[in-house]
Amino acid sequence: MPTARSWRAYPQTYRLEAARCSKCGKAFFPPRLVCNKCNGRQFEHFDMKRTGKVVTHTIIRTPSDEFSGQAPFALGIIQMDDGPRLTSQIVDVPLEDVRIGMPVKLEFRRVSSEGEAGAIQYGHKAVPARD
Amino acid sequence: MVVGIVGYGAHIPRRRIKVEEIAKVWGADAPSYKRGLELLQKSVPALDEDTITLSVEAARNAVARSGIDPKDIGAVYVGSESHPYAVKPSGVTVAEAIGANPDCHCADFEFACKAGSEGMFVAYGLVKAGLIKYGMGIGADTSQGAPGDALEYSTAAGAAAFIMGADEDRVIATVDETFSFMTDTPDFWRREHMYYPAHGGRFTGEPAYFRTVTGAARGILEKANLKPKDFKYAVFHQPNGKFPKRAAKILGFSFEQIDVGRLVPWLGNTYSGSSPMGLTAILDVANPGDRILMCSYGSGAGSDAFVFTVRDRVREVRDLAPRTRCLLDENVTFVEYGEYAKMRRKIRLAEK
């Protein structure tokens, strides 16, 4: 991801900043301008708790060049405890042990880099919640 | 004015490699390494873990225990010898991730294994001077030893973060005294553009580690007018299992005093995180009134020593984040040398 583009997304990639509709309370990640439930336009921004559960997942064996060194890896949709869902790699767990409903925590990790000399992009990846 | 630690946190990667697994590859005698260095295993960072990611996780645990608004943190200092960038600070990413920026002073420190205690010292000093409300000092490393070198059995990854503050009702351990001991002693170094460090073999012991650590410890004991028996706990830099035990013995500390903070047999040497991580393990179990001596060591060479006294609030906050021994012992995966070599980027890949 180009450096400028990733920089604009830091509130979401670094802090999981979401937005809650001031009118109906629905939470969005990433934030949006208009609530799709009540058409409200006022939002309160907040950092999501970094806990959730795996809704569904797949195994990526042939990724794009950006992620080629990481294959095979698990990619999943995570239902965050704060409401929104997001897509995340699921790491630090054998691929065969990834399960729907598995409690996870989002940890700060390297996501990609622009080669050996380029900028490093950071974000969050899901890891199994500690027992 | 009471100045001390208001929050602390640690983070350790989940992967481990055993000494036997490394020794097997290089035809070395594992029992002699285990006996000689008192090491059993070490932590291994994943490909997506580095000094910045470990620092962020440790910093978040420190913020959770402190109960403060991260916006009140006026300084974030990351000490490491493995910053991901040669030019671009680690501290700004940590500050951004915990929500402490932009009204925040950031700097990266380097002093071999002593860089973490430098950050703690400077953060403490700025709080004491009244320049900032809270300051964070972090020691973190993903240290590398050359394949087959004795260092490869110990170089590990981990991080510890401390928030210094002067809130009477938030301090969990007061800083009672500090003392630093520095000399130009070339026992270990890494030149620009070199991937692995070089070291002076046995020269790293007597004239380097032991002279410096005992110099700093004796200096702070004299300055504070205290004796080893006045301390419940002590933690010295832990390049292996043997050195801190011997330093303790030279100084008159018992094994019981250093046992709680001596993580290295199961963790390895986390360089800038080493003695700070030992301090987190002590704070996890210490009782109000317990006095703690911490003495770091960085090759080159120097030691920063601190005297802390634990306060009541430690009991309220220690379970707001994972305890260090839990991070060390639970949910651990052991890897073989091939995976370890991949994770540590020891394998040269084809250029694309």
User: Is A15 inside a domain boundary?
Assistant: no
Query: Nearest by CB to A125, which of B48, B99, B330?
Result: B48
Whether the CB-CB separation of B3 and B125 falls below 8 Å is answered with no
Which pLDDT does position B224 carry in this prediction? Answer: 98
pLDDT confidence band for A131 (50 / 70 / 90): low
- Residue A90 falls inside a structural domain: yes
The reply to whether residue A92 touches residue B46, judged by beta carbons under 8 angstroms, is yes
Please report where in the chains the tokens 């645990």 appear, as a residue. Answer: B61
| Residue type at B87 in one-letter notation | V
Q: How close B306 gets to chain A, by Cα (Å)? A: 30
Q: Is B199 a catalytic residue?
A: no
**C-alpha–C-alpha distance, residues B160 and B137, integer Å:** 8
Please report where in the chains the tokens 């700093």 appear, as a residue: B216
Q: Residue A60: enclosing H or E segment and its boundaries?
A: strand A51-60
Three-state secondary-structure class, residue A95: helix
Our CA-based measurement puts residue A99 at a distance from the nearest CA of chain B, in whole angstroms, of 17
Chain A residues inside the 8 Å CB shell of B60: 108
Is A91 a member of any domain?
yes
Catalytic: B81?
Answer: yes
A26 domain residue, yes or no: no
Strand partners, A53: A79, A103
The pTM is what? Answer: 0.97
Tell me the residues of B at the A interface, defined by beta carbons under 8 Å apart. Answer: 14-15, 46-50, 52-53, 56-57, 60, 84-85, 93, 96-99, 322, 326, 330-331, 333, 349, 352
- The count of structural domains within chain A is 1
A128 interfacial to chain B (CB closer than 8 Å)? yes
Helix/strand/coil for A7: helix
What's the average model confidence in pLDDT over A20-49?
97
Tens-level pLDDT at each residue, chain B (352 residues): 899 999 999 999 999 999 999 999 999 999 998 999 999 999 999 999 999 999 999 999 999 999 999 999 999 999 999 999 999 999 999 999 999 999 999 999 999 999 999 999 999 999 999 999 999 999 999 998 999 998 999 999 999 999 999 999 999 999 999 999 999 999 888 998 888 888 888 888 889 999 999 999 999 999 999 999 999 999 999 999 999 999 999 999 999 999 999 999 999 999 999 999 999 999 999 999 999 999 999 999 999 999 999 999 999 999 999 999 999 999 999 999 999 999 999 888 876 6
Would you call A47 and B93 a contact, using CB atoms and an 8 Å cutoff? no
B175-310 belongs to which homologous superfamily?
Thiolase/Chalcone synthase (3.40.47.10)
Least CB–CB distance from A131: residue in B331, B349, B352: B331
Phi and psi torsions of B226, nearest 5°: -125, 160
**Rg (alpha carbons) of chain B, rounded to whole number:** 19
Contact (Cβ atoms closer than 8 angstroms) between residue B30 and residue B20: yes
Residue A1 scores a pLDDT above 90? no
Beta-carbon contacts of B6 under 8 Å, excluding residues fewer than 6 positions away, are B66, B68, B134, B163, B164, B165, B167, B170, B171, B172
Q: Between chains, do A92 and B333 touch, taking CB under 8 Å as contact?
A: yes
The confidence score (pLDDT) of residue B352 equals: 62
Whether residue A125 and residue B14 make contact (CB cut-off 8 A), yes or no, is no
Residues 6+ apart with CB under 8 A from A23: A35, A38, A40, A42
Residues 97 to 126 of A: which have CB under 8 A from any B CB?
Answer: 107-111, 120, 122, 125
Residue A72 lies in a domain: yes
The string of pLDDT tens digits covering residues A58-79 is: 999 999 988 888 899 999 999 9
Q: Which of B285, B242, B289 is nearest to B261 (CA)?
A: B285
A86: containing domain: 3-7+49-128
- What 3 state SS string does chain B have? CCCEEEEEEEECCCEEEEHHHHHHHHCCCHHHHHHHHCCCEEEECCCCCCHHHHHHHHHHHHHHHHCCCHHHEEEEEEECCCCCCCCCCCHHHHHHHHCCCCCCEEEEECECECHHHHHHHHHHHHHHHCCCCEEEEEEEEECCCCCCCHHHHCECEEEEEEEEECCCCCCCEEEEEEEEEEEEECCEECCCCCCCCEECHHHHHHHHHHHHHHHHHHHHHHHHCCCHHHCCEEEECCCCCHHHHHHHHHHCCCHHHHHCCCCHHHHCECHHHHHHHHHHHHHCCCCCCCEEEEECCECEEEEEEEEEEECCCHHHHHHHCCCHHHHHHCCCEECCHHHHHHHCCCCCCCCC
Q: Do B56 and A108 touch (CB under 8 A)?
A: yes
pLDDT of residue B54: 98
Size of chain B, expressed as the number of residues it contains: 352
Query: Any idea what the CATH number is for the domain that residue A87 is in?
Result: 2.40.50
Token pair belonging to B163: 């928030």
- E strand or H helix that includes residue A8: helix A3-8
Domain ranges of chain B: 175-310
Residue B83 annotated to the active site: no
pLDDT at residue number B195: 85
Using alpha carbons only, give the angle B86, B263, B202 rounded to the nearest 5 degrees. 70
Contact A85, A77 (CB under 8 A): yes
ipTM: 0.96
